Amino acid sequence: MASSPPSEVAQGSQQPIYPLYNKTYTLHRLSPLHNLSSLSPASLTQHARRLLSILRGDVLRGVRVGFESIGDGVVNAGRLESCEWKLLANAEAWERQQHADEAEQEDNMAKETAGVWIELEYEKTNYTALLLRNPRPRRDRGNEASAAPAEEGEIHLPLLLTHMPSALRSTLQDYLTTTFDARIEETRLSSTFLAAALEGFLADLSPLGAAGMAKVVKDLQITLAFRIPVTPSLRTLDVTIRREDVWGFLVKGKSTAAGKDGGGAKAFMSALGGYLKAHLALDITHEDVRVSKVACGGFVLARDGRAKIMGTAEGGVEGDEGETGRRAFGGLMGRLFERAEVWRFEDGLGG
C-alpha cells in the first residue's frame, strides 16, 4: 500500500513534506501490538474504519463517544471527514516515491516501511499519529529486552508520536490499548538524554566542518531549568549560541577533553559549561541545574516529551553533505527509539 502524500508541501516547493518532519509531536512508548495479523492494506483499512466509527460517535466499551466527549478543540476543527491508516515509507524511500509510479511504490513499500501513519482529516485541519518501527535490526541492539526476538503475532512499533489535542489523543490511545492489548506511556526526556542527543547530533555533523554545520544547526538554544528557582521570577534560563559559534565550542570542548575518559563524548556541553561558569558563575553540572529543552535548525527536543524534527530537506544540504545530514538525523531518531524501548516508570523523577 503506497503512502499518500500529506496536504502540506514545503514552502516554495511542490514536494510533499515527510509526515515526521515540521510538526511538534508528543512522544510515547508503545509496547508490542497483539491481535494485528499484519500491516496489510486490508487490515489497516479495517482499523481505520473502526476508529472513524468511534470518533464519529459510535459505541466504545458501551459508552457513546461523540464530539461532546472529544473536546472543544476538535469540535472547532469542524466535521471529521476521513480517517486513514497507511503504511509509511522511510524518509529516503518517501523522497523516491514522489517521482515513482504507483506500481513501483507498491513494490518497494514492504521492505522500506517505517511504520504506520494515521491521519485524521477534519474540515479545518488535520491531525496525525505515527507508529514507528526501529530500523535497526533487533540483534544489533545492546538492550537485552529490545533485542529479544519478537513473539509470533507481535508487531513492534515502539515509538508512537501524536500531533493532536489531548482528548483526541486519549481516544486513540484507548483504541490502541484495547484493540492490540498494548501499553502506552508518555516518554519524558531527561537532562542527560537531551545533552547526549545534542552531542551525538553535533558529532555526526562534524564532518561537514564549520560552514556545513552552521547551515544545518543554525542558531542553537539550550534552556536550563533550576530545581529550586534562583529568584521567584527566574525558573529557567535560555542560552543562545549563534550558528557561527557552535563549531568553536565543539572544537574547544574536544581539545579540552583530549586524553580524558570518554574523549569528546561531552565536548560541546563541556565547553559551554566552562564558558557559563567563567562569565555567569553558573555551574551547569550542579545537581539543581537541568537541561529542559534543546532547539536548533535540525530539531527541538523538550523534557516534557515533545519533539519537532526538521529533517535533511530543511537543512539545505545536498550531495555528500546531504548524506552526512541524513546520518545525523538517523542517529537522533535512533536515540529516541532507544529511549522508547526502555520501560521505566520513574521517568521524569530525576535527571
pLDDT tens-digit map of 205-238: 999 999 999 999 999 999 999 988 777 788 999 9
Least confident among 55-64, 81-90, 232-241: 55-64
The answer, yes or no, to whether residue 319 has pLDDT greater than 80, is no
Average pLDDT over residues 26-55: 92
Which is nearest to 323 in space by CA: 198, 211, 216? Answer: 216
Contact 205, 324 (CB under 8 A): yes
pLDDT given for residue 116 in this prediction = 97
pLDDT given for residue 232 in this prediction = 79
Identify the three-state secondary structure at position 46.
helix
201 confidence band (pLDDT: 50, 70, 90)? very high
Cα separation, 253 vs 272, in Å, equals: 8
Average pLDDT, the chain: 83
Cα separation, 187 vs 161, in Å, equals: 10
Least confident among 52-66, 186-200, 210-224: 52-66
Average pLDDT over residues 269-291: 95
pLDDT given for residue 257 in this prediction = 73
332 confidence band (pLDDT: 50, 70, 90)? very high
What is the DSSP track for 251-289? HHHHHHHTTSTTTTTTHHHHHHHHHHHHHH---TTSTTE
DSSP code of 57?
T
List residues bridging with 83 in a β-sheet: 120
The answer, yes or no, to whether residue 1 has pLDDT greater than 50, is no
Which is nearest to 133 in space by CA: 155, 105, 102? Answer: 155
Average pLDDT over residues 267-277: 96
Cα separation, 46 vs 37, in Å, equals: 12
Tally the residues of the chain.
351
Cα separation, 336 vs 339, in Å, equals: 5
pLDDT given for residue 106 in this prediction = 59
345 confidence band (pLDDT: 50, 70, 90)? very low
pLDDT given for residue 136 in this prediction = 80
